[in-house]
Amino acid sequence: MRFIPRTLLWRTVLLLAVLLAVSHLAWISIFRYAQREPRANQIAQQIVSIVVLTRAALVSAAPGKRVALLRELSSVEGIQVHAANDDDRVEPLPDRPALTLIAEAVRAQLGPDTRFTLERNGISGVWVSFPIDEDEYWVMVPRARIERAETWRWVGLGAVVVLLSLLGAVAIVSRVNRPLRALARAAGDLGRGREPAPVPEVGPAEISGVAKAFNQMAADLQRTDRERALMLAGVSHDLRTPLSRIRLGVEMLDVDGALREGMVQDVEEMDAIVGQFLDFARGGPEGAEAEATATDLGALVARVVERYRAKGEPVSARAGGVPPLPLRPLAIERLLTNLVNNALRHAKTPVEIETRVAGKQAVLSVLDRGPGIPDGDAERMMQPFTRLSTARTDSGSGLGLAIVERIARMHGGKLELLARAGGGLEARVLMPLSQD
């Protein structure tokens, strides 16, 4: 769901916040239920005391001083006394258990005929009737005088406790997340072909155990890569040395020139295919680049285009003002070379290289006007040793696009094979502008 946080930290904080809020509200409900009757008796006693004292003061005061006494009660204590009238509009008491208990306790002490309401003639307050001789009077006590904000005080204190608990949860989960983030970064580096630094084996036993297992896995993979590179170096020497002798022998043969040139070309293609096999198996020469450096993609494309133009190939470039990117230059040159070679070999049309920025990504496109690739085969063509059925008679190993896709992934990007409007193919490489 959109409203559920993605990170473990904020999911934990949200869960704790909900649990603490629910438990706090439940605790307040239990507290209010347990304190309802004692609190009602306490409030009723306060009301009864005010009514009794007010009535006694009025009865004992001299008639000429009663008006001054009423004014003093109103200004100092906020207590008002009014004579009851037949046309008084007395609102019924709200149906709340606490108010019912208070009214019963007040009548138990002042008499069953005592009237109790929270609103008289549209004026809000705690209104209680009392008699003096044959007359009935109302005493009004401000509700704030009776209804203490104890419940809200407890709510406020509970909110402070919830906030402190959440701050503690953030601190605890942050310590748990720190090694997980380091592990995620190291796994990303490993997936892009880099050699990550060992992950600190700290934190809870489960986290440190995962970090230890990851470090062991990374060390095993690095050792396997070193052994494979050593073996492939020997294979490369053992294969290419006989190919060099065969080429030398073919060039010395006294045969038709066209036949000799075709045989030499076959040997060169065999050598190129062996080279692609070895490059794919050991990560290519770009694997020697340990770290990406800030690189001007436009300048790199210009160098590649210049090499093709020197050989008379119809390759051009259109730069789109891409800022310096964290790239492995040798790997990107290999990526461009493979894409351009594929376009020249299969499209047999002029090839254009385009660079531009789209949102937070740099776009590198190699465009041609050849037959293109059917939509259903685009993903399949990125797999090793995969070729279109129409291209099976052409030279090549079927590894060019697989190497391009791996280099794009090494830079945190991806390869897309898209049909162009008007015919042709766009091999588009998307790479992030930064790898933060």
pLDDT digits (tens, 9 = 90+) for 44-77: 888 888 888 888 887 877 766 766 777 777 777 7
Query: Highest mean pLDDT: which of 91-95, 171-175, 313-317?
Result: 313-317
Asked if the model's pLDDT at residue 263 lies above 70, the reply is yes
Annotate the chain with three-state secondary structure: CCCCCCCHHHHHHHHHHHHHHHHHHHHHHHHHHHHHHHHHHHHHHHHHHHHHHHHHHHHHCCHHHHHHHHHHHHHHHCCEEEECCCCCCECCCCCCHHHHHHHHHHHHHHCCCCCEEEEECCEEEEEEEEEECCEEEEEEECHHHHCCCHHHHHHHHHHHHHHHHHHHHHHHHHHHHHHHHHHHHHHHHHHCCCCCCCCCCCCCHHHHHHHHHHHHHHHHHHHHHHHHHHHHHHHHHHHHHHHHHHHHHHHHCCCCHHHHHHHHHHHHHHHHHHHHHHHHHHCCHHHHCCCCEEECHHHHHHHHHHHHHHCCCCEEEECCCCCCEEECHHHHHHHHHHHHHHHHHHCCCCEEEEEEEECCEEEEEEEECCCCCCHHHCCHHHCCCCCCHHHCCCCCCCCHHHHHHHHHHHCCCEEEEEECCCCCEEEEEEEECCCC
Q: What is the mean pLDDT of residues 383-412?
A: 67
Q: What is the mean pLDDT of residues 188-213?
A: 79
Query: Highest mean pLDDT: which of 87-101, 147-161, 170-184, 247-261?
Result: 87-101
pLDDT digits (tens, 9 = 90+) for 63-72: 667 667 777 7
How many Å apart are CA 94 and CA 407, to the nearest integer?
A: 75
Q: Give ranges for CATH 3.30.565.10 in the chain.
A: 288-432
Bridge partners (DSSP) listed for residue 431: 362
pLDDT of residue 149: 46
Between 162 and 275, the more confident residue is 162
Query: Across the chain, what does the average pLDDT equal?
Result: 79
Least confident stretch, 193-202, 256-265, 364-373? 256-265
pLDDT digits (tens, 9 = 90+) for 119-160: 998 888 899 998 887 888 888 888 776 655 455 666 677 778
- pTM confidence score: 0.48
* Topology of the domain covering 8-148: Beta-Lactamase (3.30.450)
pLDDT of residue 288: 47
Q: Give ranges for CATH 3.30.450.300 in the chain.
A: 8-148
Percent of the chain residues past pLDDT 70, beyond the cut: 80
Give the contacts of 355 (CB within 8 A, at least 6 positions apart). 297, 298, 301, 317, 318, 319, 320, 322, 362, 363, 364, 365
Q: What is the mean pLDDT of residues 264-276?
A: 68
CATH superfamily of 288-432: Histidine kinase-like ATPase, C-terminal domain (3.30.565.10)
pLDDT of residue 393: 38
The pair of structure tokens assigned to 235 is 């294979």
